[in-house]
Amino acid sequence: MSDSPPPARRPVEDRPVRIVSARPSIGLRFKEIWESRELLSYFVITDIKIKYKASALGILWSMFAPAATLAIYWVVFGKILPNSVPNFALFLFAGLLIWNFFFGVIITSTSVVVDRAGIVKKVAFPREILALSTVGTSFVYFLIQCGVMVIFMLALWHPPAWGMLWLLPLSIFALAVFAGSLGILLSAINVYLRDTRHLIEVALQLWFFLTPIVYSFEHQISKKLHHVAVGNDHILNLTWLYFLNPVTPIVMTFQRVIYAQPTVRATSVPHVPYSVLPTWPTSTYLLLNLGVLAAGLVLFAIAITVFGRLEGNFAEEL
C-alpha cells in the first residue's frame, strides 16, 4: 500500500457552487406569494414614491401626461388630420389604456430581478413578487389614466356602453394575469440572458402594430382575413389567427365599451356607414376574455415552474 499523501483538494469555499432547485410545487409557491402580499404592497408603494420623489407635481404627472397625450390626439386627428372615425382620439386612447398597462408590466418586470440584485442576494422571499409588483404599479397608473378618460368622455358627452361596463374589470384582470405571468418568466430568463430586455423592446414594437389600436379591426383586418383565397376554389376564414394575440380581445373589449359605437357615420362621407368594431353580442366578448384569462393561468403555472427551477442560481449570476 502506498504511503503517498492524497492529492490536495481545493478548499470548499473556492469551488464554484451550482445549485439546481428541486421541482417546485406550484401550490406551495402560490401560497408563499399570497403570504407575502404585504411585501408586494410595499414594493408597489415604494416604486411609486421613488418615481416621483423629486417631482414638484408628484403622482399628478401620471394624470397630466395622459391628459396632454389625449389632447394632442384630439387636435391632430380631429382638426389637422381628420379621418373617417368621429372622436377618433377617444377610440385610440381606449386601446392605448390597455397597451400602456401591458407595456409597463412587461418592460419593467423583465429587468426587475437584475435591478434589485442587492435585495435578491441578501433577503429570502418569493422573488416572483418582484415581477408581480410591476403589475400593481402599472395598475395604479392605469386607474389614473382611466380618470382622465372619464373626464374626456364627459367633456365630449360620449357615454359608454352601460350594459357592457361589467366586462371591463374582467378584461383588465385577465390581462393582469397574462402580463404578470409573462413578466415572471422573462424576469427569470433575463438573469441569465441580459439581452432579453433589448429583444423584448423590439418585440413589443411589433406587438403594438399587431394589436388593433391605431386602426380599426373591423374595417382594416376582419374584411381582409375573412375571405382569404387558397387556390381557385377554396376560401378560408383566417380571422382566428389575429386572436392568437391575447392583447387583441382586451383592447377590443375596452374599445367596444368605451367608444360604444360599432358602426358610425364616416366624417368624410356622412351618409356612409363605417364599421369600427364587430357587432358581436356581449357573450362573444365574454368568451374571448375568459380565453385570455385561461391562457394567463396556464402561463402562470409555467412561469412559476420555470422561475422556481432557475432562481437557485440567481445570487451567483447576479
Give CA–CA dist 55/71, Å, rounded: 23
Residue 76 has pLDDT above 50, yes or no: yes
Residue located via cell numbers 380599426:
216
Average the pLDDT over 45-73 and give the result.
Answer: 73
Bigger pLDDT: 14 vs 126:
126
Residue 151 has pLDDT above 70, yes or no: yes
Instruction: For residue range 182-202, list pLDDT tens digits in order.
Output: 999 999 999 898 888 899 999
Indicate the average pLDDT of the chain.
82
Instruction: For residue range 227-238, list pLDDT tens digits in order.
Output: 554 555 555 566
pTM: 0.84
The DSSP-derived string for the chain is: ---PPPPP---GGGS-----PPPPPHHHHHHHHHHTHHHHHHHHHHHHHHHTTT-SSGGGHHHHHHHHHHHHHHHIIIIIS--SSTTHHHHHHHHHHHHHHHHHHHHHHHTHHHHTHHHHHH--S-THHHHHHHHHHHHHHHHHHHHHHHHHHHHHT----GGGTTHHHHHHHHHHHHHHHHHHHHHHHHHH-TTHHHHHHHHHHHHHHTSTTSS-IIIIIIHHHHSEEETTTEEE--HHHHTTSTHHHHHHHHHHHHH--SEEE-SSSTTSEEE-S----HHHHHHHHHHHHHHHHHHHHHHHHHHHHHGGGHHHH-
* pLDDT category of residue 291 using cuts at 50, 70 and 90: very high
Average the pLDDT over 245-272 and give the result.
Answer: 84
Give the per-residue pLDDT at 40: 87
